[in-house]
Structure 1
C-alpha cells in the first residue's frame, strides 16, 4: 500500500478539525439530542409516575380515612349493642315492679301473642310455635323496662334502624313498633334463623358482638345488617340482642364520604359480597338494590344478597376479589362500565368489612397528563436552543483553529529538530523558545530528556558491566539456546575451561560432552520445555572437559521468547554452575552416614549378644541361689540366708536389666509395628492397681485410683500400654517417701486421653528433667539403694510413639512428680 505524502501543519489542523472535531461533534450533538430526548422522556415518565403514585397514595389515604370514620361509627353501634345486651340480661333477672301493669297483648287464632297498637314503646311478638299456655308473660313484662333505653339509642344514633331481643322460645321484643303479625309468619322459630345461630356457643364461643351479612329485613326496612350479641343466663343461651342498620343508612353515610376526583365509596362484606352500593356504582357494576319483595317469603327464606353481588362471581371483579383477600389494603386497576377505573380498598377493623373507593382513572390523571404534554413542549424548546448553541460554538472553533495553526508551526519544528539531535547522540541541542508557555516548557523538557538519557545511558553501561562481572564470578557461563535453529551461545569461563568453541556452537556438539547416563534426563527436560509443559529448564549432569574428565554442572534456565503463531517456546536462556564440589561433599556425607548407621547396628548387635551371653550364667546363679536359700531355714544359718537374699536380689536386678537391654536393643535394631485396638481405660487402670497392690502394702504407701467411665477407650496395644503404666507405677513406688501416696487416674480432652501416674516422692530437679527419657540415665541415683537400669522410661517413650501417642512429666523437688502418657480416644458409638 503506497504511503501518503506529508502535508503541512495548517492543512493537517484543518483536516484534523474536520475529521476529529466537526464530524464527531455533529455525531455527539445527535447523540446528545437523542440522549436528551430519552432522558427527558425518562425524567418526565418518572415524574409522571411519581405524580401517579402520589395520586394513588392520596386515594389510598382517603379511603383509609373514610374507613376509620365508618369504623368509628360501627364501633359506636357495637358499644351500643354491648350496652343493650348487658341491660337486657339484667332485665331478665330482675323482678318486675309491683305497680307495673302487664302488657296489653292480643292473641290470634294461630296462638300468636302480640302488641296490637303502638303505645310509644317496643312491639311484642310471641310466635305460635310456643303454645300460649307456655308463653312467659313475666319475661314480656320484664323486657318492657328496656323500652326507654331502646328509644334513647334509636334517637342518639341515626344509623340504627331498629333494636330487638329474640328469645330461645321465639319471643321477639323489637323497637320501633310495627304490626308484627303482618310481617312475621305465625309459626316462625327464631332459633332457626341466621342471626340466632351466629350468636350461639358454637359460632361465638367468646360471647362477643358479631355482625351479620346483608339480608332482607322481615320488619320491612329493606336490606340491612345487624350487630348481635348473645344473652346468657349462666351457660344457657337465653336469647340474642341485636341492633339493625339499614343499607340505605350506610349508603347515606357513604354518600357523605369525601372521595377525591368525583369518585364514590362502596362497602363489601367479609365474604366479598357488596353490602352498600351508591347510584354511580350501580351503573358501573350493572346492579340495583332489591326493592320489591314479599316480607313473609323473605322471612321464611332468609333472603341474602344474590350471587351477582359477590365480587368473586363477576368476571370483571374476580381479580379484584383475589387481591382484596390477599392483602387488607391496596389499589388496583380494572374496567367497570366500559371505562378504566382505579379501586382502592381498606379493611374496617370492627367488622372485617372492606371499604372501597372507585375513581375514574382518566379524571384522576387528567392534570398529570396535561403536565406530561407541557414537559414535552419544553423539551422541544430546549433541543432548538441546544442546536443554536452548537452552531455558534462551531463558528468560534473554526476561528480558533486558524490562529492555533499559525502559533504552532515554528515551535513544533524547533522541538522536532532538538529531538532529532538527541536521537543522534547530541544530548544538549540548541534550545527553542516560544511565546506559548506549553511549547516553551516542551522545549525545556526536551533538553531535560537529553540530560536524563545521557545519565541513564551511563548508568546502564555501568550496571551491565557489573552484572556481567557478577555473573562471570558466580557461574561458569551464561547461555542462550535457539530451539528452532538448535544453536547455543555461551559466555563466561565454561568454553575456555572445558575446551569448547567460543561464542556459538550447535546443540549436538554440546550434548556430546554430557555423560551418557545423564543425557536422557537432560533431553527429557528439554522436551518438556519444547512441548510447552513447563517454562523452566533445571537439570544436573556430568560434563566432560578437554581431557575427558567429567565434572558436575547445574544448568538452569527459562523461556524468554515464544513463537508468535504457535505460542510454543522459541528462545531459552540460563546459566551453568559448577556443582562438582557440592556433589563430592554430598557423596562423602552419604558415606559417613552409612558408616554411622553400620556402627550403630554393630553396637545394637553387641548389646544383644552380651545380654544373651550373660543371661545363661545368670539364670544358673539365680537358680542355685534359690535352692540354697530353701535349705537355709535354721536360725544358725541366718547369716548365710542374708547373703543368699542379697545374691537373689542382685541377680533379679541384673536379670531385669538384661531384659530391658535386650528389649531396647531389639527396638533399636528393628522398628516393630504394634497392632493397635480399642482398650478400655477403666479396666486397664483397675488391673494395674491390683498388680502393684502387694508392693504398695510392703512399702507402707497409699494407692488412690480414680476410674473413668467404663465407655472410655483408647487406641493402643494392650500389653505395651500395661507395661508402660506398670513401669510408671513402679518408679512412683520406688522414689516415694515413707507414708507417701500414689495416684492413678485418667483425663480426656477432645479426642485425646491422658493416663496419669502422680506421686508425692522426691521430685526431679528442673535442670535434669530433659534427661529423664534418655536411655541409661538415672539422674545421679546410680549409687543409691533404689534399684533401676535407666532404660524403663526410654522404653515407655518408644512404646508411646509406636502407639501414636506421647509422654510427658511435671515434677517439683520435694513435692512429687506427675508422669503421663497421652493416646488417641476411640469415639463412643451414639445410641440409635
Structure 2
C-alpha cells in the first residue's frame, strides 16, 4: 500500500466522527423522560380527584334523594289524608242522607238526547252524570240531588291544594259527581258507561283493596278530559255494601310542574316510576335522556273512553329494548344497591333511588357524570396547556441546538462538497460543449470523491457516443410525438362529448321517472282553479241577478250594517283549523242563543266560515231583523267569491313553480363555460320536481346558511342533486326524513344530504363510485349514477364523500367558492 493511499479516508468515517461528537441522543432522552413524568403525574392526580369528586357526589345524591323523597311522600300523604276525610264524610252521608242539605240551592237536571241524566247548569258546585243504562227513578233523582252536599269539600280540596285538579265520586249505579263542573258533561262521557270497568273504581273494591284504605293508581288517561293522571282513591261503604269510590286526581303535568321540578345540584333530574318499572311522571330533561315524550295532554277527538287506558309498554323501563339498560335497572330495583352507574344514549350517569313510603313508588335521580367531573376536566385542560408550553420551549431549545450543529457541520460539508463542485462545473461544460469537453483527472484525499472522478471521466467518453445517437433519434421522435398529440386531442374531445351526452341521458331518465308525479303536481292546482271558477260561475248564475232587488229592499241602516259585515269578512284572511272552527261555532252559538237568535247553530257556521268569530255586537241588529237570515246568506255567498279568487291565485303560483322547475331541470347548456349560480336554487328545483314523491311520507329538513354564488356548471350540478336525492328516497323506500344542509367551510361550499334509511353495507362501500356497479335489480339502474356524480364534482375541482351507519347515511359535496 502506497503512502498516498494510506492518507485517504472514507466519506462515511468523516461524517460519523463529526456528528457522533455532537450527539443529540442523551439530551433528547432526558427531555422525553421529564415529559413522561410530568404527564404521568398529572394523569394520576386527575384520576384521584375524579374518584374523590365521584364519592362526594354519591354521598350528596343520597342525602338529597332521601330529603326529596320525604318531601314528595309528605305531599302524597296530604292528598291521602284528604281522601280519608272524604271517605268519612261520604260514608256518613250514605248512612243518613237526610241529615245533609243543599249548599248551593236546588240544581237543575235534565235527560239528554243520548239518554244521559245530567246537571244542566253550573251553580257553584260539581257536574253530575248518570249513565243512560241506569233507570232514573225517584231514588236515583234523590241521590243526584242529595249528593250536592259533597260539593263544598270537593271545591275546598281543589282550591287549596295546587297538585289536585279534580275530585269525584263514582257509584255502583254508574253515577259520577265531579268538581270542577264540566260543561256539556252529557257529551264528555259515553252515553253508556260502566264505572266498574275503570281502574279508578275496581282497584278500590274488596277484591283489590280488602283493607279499605287509600289506593294510588298508576298513570291512566282521564275519561273526563284532563289528560294523563294518577288518582288517590278510597272505597265508600254503607256497612258492607260498596256504594262507590271517591277519588282525588293529580295530572302528570301537575306532578311534573309542582312536585318533580326540583332545584338539584349538578343539573340532576328526578323522575317517578312504579314498582313494576313503569314511568309515572318525568320532566323534559329525562325525556331527552330516555328518548321518550311524557304523556300529559291528550287530543280526545270525538271518541269516548269506555275502559281504562294506561301508558304504553315503551314507558316501562324494565321492558326497554336495550338489554344493558334493563340489567342496570334490575340491579337497582332488586335492592342490591341504592345507586348504580347508568348508561343511556351514550351518556354516563349516576342513578339512585328512594322508595316513596305512601305509595311504594320509586323516586329516581339521574346525574350526568360529565357535569360532576367538569372541574377536573378544566384542571386537566390547564395541565395539558402547561405541557404544551414546555414542549414549545423544548422545541425552541432544540432549534438553537440544531443551528449550532449546522454551523459545526458546515466545515465538514465544505470539505466534501468542494471537489464535487469542480465535477459539477465540468458537467455544466459538458452540457454546452459535449463534443469539445476535455477529460480532467482530479485528486482528493477522500476515497469516494477520487473514485467519482474516475467514473466521471469514463461516463464522458460514453456520453459523447450516445449524444450523437440521441440527436439523430430526437428528430424522428418529434414527428411521432406531434402525430400522437393530435390523436389524443381528438380522443379527449370525443370523451368530453360522450360524458355530456351521458349526463343529459341520466337527467332525462330521472325526468322520465318523475313525469307522472309532475303531471299530478300540475293537475292538482288546475283542479283547484276549475273548482273555484265553478263556484264563481255558480254564484253569478244564481245570485248576481238578485242582488239589485235585494239591496233595494234593505233600509238604509240595514244596508250600512250589511256592507260593514261584508267588509269585515273580506278583511279576514286567516284560515282556521277544524278544532278552532268547532270552538268558535260553539261560542257564537251560545252568544246568539242568549239573544234569542233563531237557527243560531246554522248562522254561527256561516259567520265562522266568513272569518267572523267574535265581537258580534255590531252584527246583532242584522241577526235580529226579520230578514236577517237572508242578509247573512247573501253576505256568506259574496265572501265566498274572495276565497275562490284566493284559491285560484295559490293554485296558479304552484303550477308556475312546477313548470319553472321543470324548465330549469331539462335545460342543457352547450356553451361549456362556468356561470355564477346559487347551489340552493338547483337543490330546490330538484325538490320541486320530487314534491309528489316527497309529500306522501318524507319529511324534508332544510338547514341552509347564507351562501354566495359560485362559478359552476349549474345544469350538471342539478344532475348531482337529482342522483343523490333519488338514491336517498329509494334507500328510505319513500318513507322517512331527508335532511339537506348547506354551509360554508373556509373557501368551500358544503352540501350534506342525509337520509335515515338502512345504510350502505360495509362490503360495498368501496364499490359504490365504480362505473356499472349497482345493487338494484336488472332494468332499474345502470350503475353509472354515482360515477357520473363523482366526475361532475371533480370537474368542479370539488370532492364527494359519504358516511353511513345503520339508520343514517350522509353524502357530502364540497364545491370551491
The TM-score bracket by the shorter chain reads: 0.3 to 0.5
- Which protein has the bigger helix share? 2
- Which protein has the bigger strand share? 1
Query: TM-score w.r.t. structure 2 length?
Result: 0.40
Query: TM-score w.r.t. structure 1 length?
Result: 0.39
Higher relative contact order (CA 8 A, sep 6+): 2
